[in-house]
Structure formats: C-alpha cells, structure tokens
Amino acid sequence: MIGRNAPPKLVRKPKKKMRDVTNERIFKEEQKEALTFHKLKHELLGPLFIRLLFNDEFIQVFREQDNDTDLENKDPNPRK
C-alpha cells in the first residue's frame, strides 16, 4: 500500500550500549544533585535574607548610605 493510510514500517530500535546507559544514569544523578543544591540554597538563603532585611543595624547602614547620596546630589547654591 502506498499513500497516506499506509501502515508504518516496523523498524527495530538499535540496542543501547552499556556506555550510553551509564552516561545517562550519571547525567540524571548530576541533575538531581544540582536540583537539590538549588532547593537547599533557596531554603537556607531565603530566611537569612529576610532576617537581614528586618535587622535594625542593616537598615541603619542603608539609611546612612541614602543620606550620603542625598547630600551629594543637593545643589550647594540653590536658585531662588
């Protein structure tokens, strides 16, 4: 049968070599490790960052920096 309704030809899949199987396994393990590290990083750094945001000393340092930039931006001779 030739045409659109022709049945697909049966093609045997080549067998995977042992080296390919081990490479895939190693790749999957590396992906898992990377994902767990990424999750761990977010779980640990998230609360630390929030704690830093609400830390009074940390806020004070930012306010001082902000005040310093305000002083630098002000014109020494304001026009009237």
7 pLDDT above the threshold of 60: yes
Helices (H), 1-80: 18-53, 56-73
Task: Give the model's confidence band at 75: pLDDT under 50 very low, under 70 low, under 90 confident, else very high.
Answer: low
pLDDT, averaged across the chain: 73
CA atoms within a 13 Å half-sphere pointing along the CA-CB vector of 25: 7
CA torsion angle for 55, 56, 60, 62 (degrees, to 10)? 20
User: pTM of whole model > 0.75?
Assistant: no
Rounded Cα gap, residues 13 and 16, in angstroms: 9
For 42, the token pair is 């977010």
